[in-house]
Amino acid sequence: MSDPTRFHLIRHALVEPSARATFYGSLDVGLCELALREEAALYRWLAARLPQPAQWVVTPLGRTRATAAAIFAAGYPAQPLRTEAALAEQFLGEWQGIPHEALTERLLHPPHPFWPHAAEERPPGGESLGDVRARVGPMIDQLAAQHSGEDVVVIAHGGSIRAAIAHALDLSAHQALHFSIRNLGLTRLEKHGTDWRVVSINEEPWTLP
């Protein structure tokens, strides 16, 4: 059997405080400068932990490119960045930019036990998490085929990483929302032929033995 394609998925760094007060979805918001400074040790760990060589993939949203730049500044040799729109965060349509407390009156379905809205909830003009899963799955299959036996580092988003896990495990979008994906946590997936393996979720230096 040929070597697997190894995916190293990292959720972008924490965004700035005013964005966190809203449903920012796929708005292009900046990173939190204070968190960037306070988490310097975590960037150094990622720079040492991530494999070399590797293909690097980001999304069109600047916070993924800025997170990659911070990892490079912490010691990982700078790499060309491939941009894939299919791995972007959930587009929340008319919900984008509204404060959290304004959401309840807009819901058509009961919220998920661990998320403000249901996985099947599709905001007006936007996407449901099922829609995100439908676009992320084919893209990671495509990357796996293009980079068979290689390492692929993907700086993405909570929604798209949940969708990738759901695709790998053949889970529903509702089940995907049971995963908590932490900022700068490392999730590792492997594609062995037609089969997926989940190696770790939210790997961090202080969670390792």
Please report the pLDDT score of residue 1 as a whole number.
59
So what's the pLDDT on residue 38? 95
Predicted local distance difference test score (pLDDT) of residue 149: 97
In angstroms, the CA 164 to CA 141 distance is 10
How many other C-beta atoms are found inside a 10 Å radius of the C-beta of residue 9?
24
DSSP helix/strand/coil, 13: coil
The predicted pLDDT at position 104 comes to: 85
Output the six-digit token pair for 36: 């960037």
How many whole angstroms separate alpha carbon 115 and alpha carbon 100? 12
pLDDT band at 205 (very low <50, low <70, confident <90, very high): confident
The tens digit of pLDDT for each residue in 48-67 reads: 999 999 999 999 999 999 99
The pLDDT-based confidence of 207 (bands split at 50, 70, 90) is low
What are the tens digits of pLDDT across the range 27-53?
A: 999 999 999 999 999 999 999 999 999
Q: At what angle do helices 62-73 and 40-49 cross, to 10 degrees?
A: 80
Q: For residue 96, what pLDDT is reported?
A: 96
- Sign (positive or negative) of CA dihedral 82, 83, 85, 89: positive
Say how far apart CA 168 and CA 190 lie, in whole Å: 9
Q: What is the mean pLDDT of the segment spanning 116-130?
A: 96
* pLDDT tens digits, one per residue of 63-77: 999 999 999 999 999
Minimal CA–CA distance to 39: which of 68, 4, 5, 70?
70
Q: Would you call 83 helix, strand, or coil by DSSP?
A: strand
Write out the DSSP string of 34-79. Answer: HHHHHTHHHHHHHHHHS-SS-EEEE-SSHHHHHHHHHHHHTTSPP-
Containing 44, the helix (H) or strand (E) segment is helix 40-49
- pLDDT: which is higher, 2 or 116: 116
Where does the pLDDT of residue 142 fall: very low under 50, low under 70, confident under 90, or very high at 90 and above? very high
| pLDDT at residue 208 is higher than 60 | no
pLDDT band at 209 (very low <50, low <70, confident <90, very high): very low
Q: Domain spans of the chain?
A: 5-203
* CA-to-CA dists, residue 121 to 104, 138, 139, 166, angstroms: 12, 22, 23, 17
Return the CATH number of the domain spanning residue range 5-203: 3.40.50.1240
Q: pLDDT tens for residues 96-113? A: 999 999 988 888 899 999
Please give the backbone phi and psi of residue 81, each rounded to the nearest 5 degrees, phi first: -110, 120
Which residue's structure tokens are 């896990």? 165
Phi, psi of 71 (to 5 degrees): -70, -40
